[in-house]
Amino acid sequence: MAEHDDGDLIAAIRGLARANVLVVGDLMLDRYAYGRVERISPEAPVPILTVTREIAMPGGAGNVVRNLTALDAAAAFVSVVGDDQEGSDLTALIGGQPNVEPWLLVETGRATTVKTRYIAAGQHLIRADRELVMPLTDKLGERLLKIASDAMAATSVTVLSDYRKGVLAPTIARNLIASARSIGRTVIVDPKGADWSHYAEADVITPNRRELAEAVGRDLPDEAAIVGAAREVIGRFGFGAVLCTRSEDGMSLVTVDTVRHYPAEASEVYDVSGAGDTVVAVLAAGLASGLPLEIAARLSNIAGGLVVGKVGTAVARPDDLVDAVKPASGALRKVVTRQAAAEAAERWRQRGWRIGFTNGCFDLLHPGHVHLLEQARAGCDRLVVGLNADSSVRRLKGASRPVQPEAARAAVLASLASVDLVVIFEEDTPLDLLSAIRPDVLVKGADYTHDTVVGAREVESWGGRVMLAELLPGHSTTATVTRLRS
C-alpha cells in the first residue's frame, strides 16, 4: 500500500470494522463535571465551580474498548471492578457498548478506580482520584488468566492496557504474553512504570516520550535519542517494535531495521485525555484487520491528532479518519455528522460561545429562509442547522418531495456565511439532534408561537431560550419547517 495513496488509506479505514481485538487491563470510571466559575469562595482562595452538566464514561482500558467500538470493530474485554456502585455503573456502561463481549470480574474489597475532572471554560480546575491500588488475589488472577487465554482464540490481537492499578501484575502480564505467543496472536502493550521486563516478547509497545525516558533512565531530547532508547528496549526485552508518541512532535515507529517518524496531525489541542488509548485502539484494529504495521501506525497517528482536538475523553470514528485523510473542500466541510456537530458544539461551549440552532426542510431556499438564518446567526456565536433528510421530507410532505435531494440542500445551506454547520437528520422532528447539540438558542420564524416550537421545552430545561425571528413580508417559513411535536 502506497503511503500517499488516499484511496488505499480510505479503504484501510473502512476495513477496521473487520477487526476483532481482546483488551485486558485496568478499568476505571471517568467522570467530568462541567460548569462555570464566577466567584471565589469566601472560605478559602479557591474558585467556586457551579456545575451545569456531568457525564461519566469508561476510562483506562475501558476507553480502549470504547475507541474500538467507535471504529465499528469487535472487542472482547477482560477486567476487574470493585463490589461498589461505581463498579455497577461501569458494568452498565461497558455492557451498553456495541460489539463488546465483556468479562468484568468483581472483587470484594476493591474500590473501583474513579477519576473526576472539574472543568470550566475549557480549563481543568482539578482532578480528584479515588482508587485502591493492589494486585488481584491469586484465585481471581487465575480466573482472569483463564478467561483471557480462552478469548485469545477468537481474536486476532491482544491489547494489554496497563494503568498500574493491579490487574496486569507482572506475573499476569507475562502469562498473557506467553499464551498469546503460543497460539500466534499479536500483543500490543500500553506500558506503565520503569520496569518493562514483564512485557518482554510483546510485538508492539506504545509508550509516550516520558514513559520511554523513564524505562531507559535518561532524558530523550530529540528524535535520535528516542530512536536510541527504542532500540535499547527492543534489544533488552525482545519487543518487535516501539511506537513512541511524542505529543506535539508526532510519533516515531522503531523496529530493529527501520525508523519512521510521523508528524503531528493535530491542528488545535483542546484536551489530551485518553489520546494514548485512541492510538492503541486504532493500531490494534489496523493490525487485526491485516494492515502492515507502518500503515496501522500512520492511521493511529491521525486518530491521535483528531481526539486531542476534541473535548474530554474522545474517540475517533471512521468518518473522522476519512475526513482527515481526504477532507471535504469548500463549504462542504460544514456538512457533518450528528456526532461531529455535538463535539464541535462542546468545543464552542467550552470557549464560552453561544450556540444557536434552527431546522427545516429548506427544499427551495428563498429570501425568507436567508433572512431567518441571518437573524439566527446574529443571535448567537455559532449556528447549527438541522436539515430533514429526503426520507423525512417524504413522510412530512408527500411522495413528490423533496424537489432537491438532501445533498444539494445541504450544500446550498453550507454555502451561506450565516451557517456554521449543517447536520442531516432522518427523524421527523429534531428532538434527538437538539439533545446532542444542546443549543443555547433555538430559532424559529415568527409564524410560530412558543407552544408550537418543537424542542422549546427541552432547550429551556438546560437553560437555553427560544427566539422567534421576524419574517420577510410574504415569506413564511412554516412551509419548510415541521411543526410536529413528539
Task: Give the residue numbers marked as catalytic.
Answer: 277
Q: What is the SS3 assignment for 127?
A: strand
Cα dihedral 140, 143, 147, 150, rounded to 10, equals 150
The burial of 294, by beta-carbon neighbours within 10 Å (0-12 exposed, 13-18 middle, 19 or more buried), is given as middle
- Asked whether the beta carbons of 75 and 100 are under 8 A apart, the reply is yes
Amino acid in the structure at residue 34:
Y
CA neighbor of 233 nearest in space, from 210, 213, 249, 219: 213
102 Cβ neighbours under 8 A, 6+ residues apart: 77, 91, 94, 95
CA distance 486 to 483: 10
Which helix (H) or strand (E) segment holds residue 466: the answer is strand 465-469
- CA atoms in the 13 A half-sphere facing the CB of 388: 26
* C-alpha distance from residue 35 to each of 41, 186, 202, 462, 482 (Å): 15, 43, 43, 12, 33
Grid cell digits, residue 208: 509516550
- Asked whether the beta carbons of 55 and 81 are under 8 A apart, the reply is no
CA distance 26 to 89: 15
DSSP state of 231: H
CA distance 316 to 23: 18
Amino acid in the structure at residue 80:
V
CA distance 281 to 286: 8
